[in-house]
């Protein structure tokens, strides 16, 4: 009975933006304690589980989380008392059933997730095994590739850049610590370049630099210069983008809010198409809006064979939305943010669903983070292809990288994405130009729905394996 829950308590703590978030503590009968805190995003999709905030304008500008904390202390705690902490599925189901809503608006996903993660951490401590081993068993033995945000825009930065994240991906590195070193060196080199050009080296919410630029494309040019000046090349380090274009979408078109540039859906797809064929871009997240399913189908047809197309707002870590995407042949990758769904069990289920369909998985932080390193352990436990944790300059970001370094020392394994005795990941992922964008789009529009539903080539495991996002073990 020692592994059973004795008490659960919730607390209001601060995230990296200095606003409240939820922390939970689970204590077992033998005194074992598990503590977890949850992040909060500034760029939120409309299909995310509900983050419960107070309406008291006199506290934290109505952003307090006392209600969510009270739900932990007064509703969740009694419901879970006496339950075995080693039965994660049962515990999460109790919270889901107690909430009784489709998006956790009663208890708050920030309350349920904090408890869910704290329970898992307590169970791992009780069993005296690392958290990643408790979550993933003997199969937890591969490290993710860092997808490091080094220049910020969008709602994450007070500048004139609309694309939210410009990231580097060390595809040619042979280990996590080597890839992390490359990224850090390039990041700091970029800072020197910006300073020498008289541009701001202030940072955004996720630690990336946030200068004002003549055009969003200039950010890519600056990063390529930093890669070269740091003595690397584009066969070793690639570019990834997070457009966060749900922020741009209205009922008829897309308008970049800072530059006031407007696109129709096909025009925006062509914009990404041209950008990918001009620069060494291997991944684009939320290239289109979360409700633009027809556009996503066209985008996947046009770019799905050469670029990782990541659904964040589109899928919201929700297996039901992901299944729709799989059926419609939309995207080929999913961003995993546990606070979008609200429990560990549901998070792991979504990851499993994605992998079974041949989609790559990227575990991700949020812009409003805490020092909690849980996502690093999830990445290892589930062999996620990549991890997003921000720039190497703020402790709430660096803590995840440091946790992965410690795990790497424990398991002594190579990159998850680095095939052994094969050609480099980077060479496999070199963009293959599409000769005629308009023809590609037009031909796709004329496909029957039946053909669309049966065409799974872009999302097959074999295709992704060829591109280096999966590795045979």
Catalytic residue list: 206, 337
Determine the 3-state secondary structure of 341 from DSSP.
coil
- 109: Cα within 13 Å, side-chain hemisphere: 26
**Residue 47 neighbours by CB under 8 Å, 6+ apart:** 290, 313, 316, 318, 321
CA–CA distance, 281 with 226 (Å, rounded to integer): 15
Quote the strand ranges of 326-433, DSSP E.
Answer: 333-336, 360-364, 386-388
The gap between the terminal CA atoms of the chain, to the nearest Å, is 39
DSSP-derived secondary structure for 21-52:
EEEEEEEETTS-EEEEE--B-SS--TTSPP--
Contact 154, 165 (CB under 8 A): yes
d(CA 218, CA 461): 35
- CA–CA distances in Å: residue 210 to residues 204, 226, 422: 6, 15, 38
Q: Note whether 387 and 376 are within 8 A (CB).
A: yes
Closest by alpha carbon to 183, among 471, 401, 27, 426?
Answer: 401
Task: Return the residue matching tokens 């992965």.
Answer: 404
Element holding 122 (H helix, E strand):
helix 109-127
Q: For the chain, how long is the longest CA-to-CA vector?
A: 66
| Element containing residue 150 per DSSP (H, E) | strand 148-152
Q: Which residue has the tokens 């004329």?
A: 446
Q: Would you call 89 helix, strand, or coil by DSSP?
A: helix
Distance CA 403, CA 405 (A): 5
Spatial neighbors of 286 by CB under 8 A, at least 6 apart, are 242, 243, 244, 245, 246, 310, 311, 312, 313, 314
Cα distances (angstroms) measured from residue 189 to each of 141, 163, 213, 391: 32, 21, 18, 13
Query: Is residue 282 within 8 Å of residue 167, measured between CB atoms?
Result: no
Cβ 469 vs Cβ 461: under 8 Å:
no
Residue 420, burial from CB neighbour count under 10 angstroms (0-12, 13-18, 19+): exposed
Distance in angstroms (rounded) separating the CA atoms of residues 196 and 271: 30
């Amino acid at each position: 009975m020692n592994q059973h829950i004795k008490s659960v308590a919730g607390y209001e703590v601060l995230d990296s933006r200095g606003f409240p978030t939820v922390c939970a503590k689970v204590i077992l009968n033998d005194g074992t304690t598990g503590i977890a805190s949850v992040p909060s995003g500034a760029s939120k999709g409309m299909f995310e589980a509900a983050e419960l905030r107070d309406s008291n304008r006199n506290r934290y500008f109505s952003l307090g989380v006392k209600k969510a904390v009270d739900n932990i202390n007064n509703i969740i705690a009694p419901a879970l008392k006496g339950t075995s902490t080693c039965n994660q599925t049962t515990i999460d189901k109790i919270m889901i059933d107690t909430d009784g809503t489709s998006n956790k608006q009663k208890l708050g996903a920030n309350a349920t997730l904090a408890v869910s993660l704290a329970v898992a951490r307590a169970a791992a401590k009780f069993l005296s095994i690392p958290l990643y081993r408790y979550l993933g068993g003997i199969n937890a033995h591969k490290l993710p590739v860092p997808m490091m945000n080094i220049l910020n825009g969008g709602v994450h930065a007070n500048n004139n850049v609309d694309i939210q994240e410009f990231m580097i991906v060390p595809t040619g590195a042979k280990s996590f610590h080597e890839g992390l070193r490359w990224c850090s060196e390039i990041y700091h080199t970029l800072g020197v370049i910006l300073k020498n050009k008289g541009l701001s080296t202030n940072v955004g919410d996720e630690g990336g630099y946030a200068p004002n630029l003549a055009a969003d494309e200039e950010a890519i040019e600056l990063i390529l210069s930093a890669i070269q000046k740091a003595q690397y090349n584009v066969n070793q380090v690639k570019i990834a983008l997070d457009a966060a274009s749900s922020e741009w979408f209205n009922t008829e078109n897309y308008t970049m809010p800072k530059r006031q540039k407007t696109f129709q859906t096909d025009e925006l797809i062509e914009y990404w198409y041209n950008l990918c064929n001009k620069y060494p871009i291997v991944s684009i997240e939320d290239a289109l809006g979360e409700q633009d399913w027809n556009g996503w189908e066209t985008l996947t047809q046009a770019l799905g064979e050469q670029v990782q197309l990541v659904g964040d707002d589109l899928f919201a870590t929700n297996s039901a939305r992901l299944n729709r995407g799989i059926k419609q042949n939309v995207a080929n990758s999913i961003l995993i943010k546990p606070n979008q769904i609200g429990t560990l069990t549901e998070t792991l289920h979504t990851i499993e669903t994605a992998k079974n369909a041949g989609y790559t998985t990227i575990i991700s932080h949020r812009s409003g983070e805490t020092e909690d390193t849980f996502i690093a352990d999830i990445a290892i436990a589930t062999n996620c292809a990549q991890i997003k944790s921000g720039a190497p300059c703020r402790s709430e970001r660096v803590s995840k990288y440091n946790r992965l370094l410690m795990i790497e020392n424990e398991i002594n394994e190579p990159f998850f994405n680095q095939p052994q005795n094969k050609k480099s990941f980077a060479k496999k992922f070199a963009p293959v130009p599409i000769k005629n964008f308009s023809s590609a789009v037009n031909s796709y529009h004329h496909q029957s729905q039946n053909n669309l539903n049966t065409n799974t080539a872009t999302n097959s495991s074999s295709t992704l394996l060829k591109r280096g996002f999966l590795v045979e073990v």
